[in-house]
Structure 1
């Protein structure tokens, strides 16, 4: 009965449009009071102990790094590189947008931050080039999801902490799947552009042009090399890498590109602090919610139920996929990872799935949730930039949803895609 109160009250608060972090906390509190088996202090303790983690310190620093680089001229120079390579091809601007999102994803670790940083530049630019505004906005919203798939990724940090797996290994494992998802998005962008006659620019692709763009973007291009190279090379931890990203981002924006002014820093720090506070509230309340689930033995019950349906690993992983796709429509990604990892990871490992591979499956699944209503955070960010309604944008993003779904199944059934690069770490 406690489980019914927990999920029932949580659903009730979501229907009232209570922010998800607060809804999780209130649902946990109501269930504690109802059961009477735990002290009310359980919630407060969960809020404190859940964020008392060295690996979790990477989250606020990556958020701050993304804010700094988004306003420091980094995203504009990354686009110039992508445009120099593919700008003259059919659908060149759309493809360049997706590639730019890939580059920025290797910096920010956040899907909404990627949409905000790239969309503000690319949506107006694509419309000026003759692209339909719905297609342009849908392209940025879908490609923004790469922000949580391509490392460094904030959800990967959360999954690593929750599932007691190596965050560095998750970062390595996310590279190829991120590229696969990006290629799926590029394939649809090309097909749609070919069908609608979206030509590239008249300028030819030349080594001189690419070299010039790379030279102008050298400080931006070095960021993922330093962050990921340092982690993979064992020079520093993901948390230390996040701090380095902040420091380097300040140098790049203030000194190298001179587009981030000292007077802008208070707002940048303030925006990062607000985002961090929101994220950590969700982490804290979701952790308490998850611990209450464990006490009530709900993970064991869910595992037993799924295995009672079928012992076929393919059937079970498809059930998990459907569950995650549905959850992604209604729940914040970080909260979903914290709550569902203790439930689903034991099932996956029992079926023979590697914890790292399953983590990538889970994150790609939930990344699709960034473009599925009613939550669809990327849709709201894209709508705010372009002025389109959520309804119109939701329809325009459907083909990208299908493309991401196809790449998800490729990642699920070909574990080598996630685990191949880890072989070189041995």
Structure 2
């Protein structure tokens, strides 16, 4: 019966139905035909949303909306431009540095693309870069958002697998920095090969300082978040609320305030995005409960462990599985449906659950940039006004640092676990 439910989900998805419909309809039909009381539907969906860690999701979405509406993103971009504009690759390197800074507050790749990405793409096009290349580097750099803390996908992963969210968030720091280093090296290589423009002179200390001061309050945000969680001052969920208060404070104190119209837009955008995320969470919870009733997780565990008991071999198998899943499902849906299935057998085989979590999220971020359903590609095509095939072609060189970073994270778990072990 579980395979019928899964096949129905796949059929609805292929036919072009929204993800939430593809998940919910087979689940509802199963409950009806299996003779369960219909009240069970509301009970399972409500129970899934009754989760303290999930409170952080809408709050961090609100943080990203606030930053985009307050103009903080412009100050971040100007500082990144001053620091990295002369580095080979010019504004492409600025794009990478800006995304790393912005990721310390937004926690989402699509928020990075939709906010800072608009500024970056426009500036790169005006400087002589092609629209496709500007969109490609914006997408490749935005991947760092859900890896570097805070991270909405990591919070969702931790909530469905019962892994420490604090350790997961801290574990993402080193992989994110390593990926940024590989990405900047790739940008420099492409700049040398194609003669990309860059700033004519290196910035003076005075110029760096003059652009650092306006950006400093925003730059302090990730320090506040990570430091507060490491010191045990607040939980990841409380950190989200602290961030909102902090962003509002610096907006009114340092950035000239915010109009009611902009604040209202940020609130409306948050409600709209949160509704889309949480309805998927609730529907996926019902779907997952059905798979559990049908003992699919146990069957999947036995099948995986029958292939190998070597943790590295299992990680390579799961990498392949997740790359395919990420091509078709958005990160939230994939995490809710696949994470409980994958985590059980690999943890039994000896894979560290925190290490697995970072690998899981990194795979899904690659999926955001991979056809046919890469959501980031659709957003980039809309913002850059460039055809998606051209963007994908420009993206091809950036799969080298993407898959290179994934390979390093997979083979060398200490890179990921070094900081979390300090908390244990």
TM-score normalised by the chain length of structure 1: 0.96
**Alignment size in residue pairs:** 424
Q: 1:372 aligns to what?
A: 370
Which deviates more, 111-120 or 179-188?
Answer: 179-188
State which of 281, 285, 289 in structure 2 corresponds to 1:291: 289
Report the counterpart of residue 21 of structure 2 in structure 1. 22
| 1:343 pairs with 2:357 | no
SS in structure 1 opposite 2:237?
A: helix
Deviations 1:325-348 (A, max 9, x none): 000011121121121122111111
User: Take 2:320 and 2:37, find their aligned partners in 1: how far apart are those partners?
Assistant: 36
Confirm whether residue 240 of structure 1 aligns to residue 238 of structure 2.
Answer: yes
When structure 1 is superposed on structure 2, of 310-319 and 353-362 the one drifting more is 310-319
Aligned pairs for 1:2-401 within 5 A: 2-34=1-33, 36-258=34-256, 260-401=258-399
Cα 1:236/1:81, change in 2 over 3 Å: same
C-alpha deviation, 1:5, in angstroms: 1.8
**1:65–1:246 contact (8 Å) kept in structure 2:** yes
CA deviations 1:199-235 (Å, max 9, x no partner) are 3111323222222221121111122122222111111
Displacement after TM superposition at 1:169 (Å): 0.8
2:368–2:376 contact (8 Å) kept in structure 1: yes
Once residues 100 and 18 of structure 2 are traced to their aligned partners in structure 1, the CA distance between those partners, rounded to angstroms, is: 29
Asked if structure 2 preserves the Cα contact closer than 8 Å seen for 1:180 and 1:407, the reply is: yes
Give distance in 1, aligned partners of 2:351 and 2:198. Answer: 43
What's the offset of the Cα at 1:410? Answer: 0.2
Change (3 A) 1:425 1:391: same
* Alpha-carbon separation, structure 1, partners of 2:80 and 2:336: 35
| Residue 259 of structure 1, CA deviation | 6.2
Q: Is the 8 A contact 1:25 1:43 kept in 2?
A: no
4+ aligned runs moved over 6 Å, structure 1: none
Partner SS, residue 131 of structure 1: coil
Equivalent-residue separation in structure 2 for 1:260 and 1:398 (angstroms): 40
Q: 1:41 to 1:187 in 2, by over 3 A?
A: farther
How far residue 40 of structure 1 moved from its aligned partner, in angstroms, is 3.0
Contact 1:101–1:144 (Cα < 8 Å) also in 2 = yes
SS at 1:397's partner residue? Answer: helix
Separation of aligned partners in 1, 2:14 and 2:400 = 28
Note the residue ranges of structure 1 that are not aligned, 5 or more in a row: none
**How far apart, CA to CA, are the structure 2 residues paired with 1:367 and 1:405?**
11
RMSD of aligned residue pairs (Cα, Å): 1.5
Is the CA contact (8 Å cut-off) linking 2:146 and 2:153 kept in structure 1? yes
- For structure 2, the 5+ residue unaligned runs are none
**Larger deviation, residues 42-51 vs 110-119:** 42-51
Determine the C-alpha separation between the residues in 1 that align with 2:384 and 2:257.
24
* TM-score, length basis structure 2: 0.96
Distance 2:117 2:416 in 1: 28
CA offsets, 1:187-206, max 9 Å, x none? Answer: 21111111110131113232
How far, CA to CA, are the matches of 1:317 and 1:225 in structure 2? 32
What is the CA-CA distance between 1:92 and the residue it aligns to? 1.9
Query: Separation in 1 of the partners of 2:421 and 2:308?
Result: 32
Report the Cα distance in structure 1 between the residues aligned to 2:26 and 2:391, rounded to whole angstroms. Answer: 32
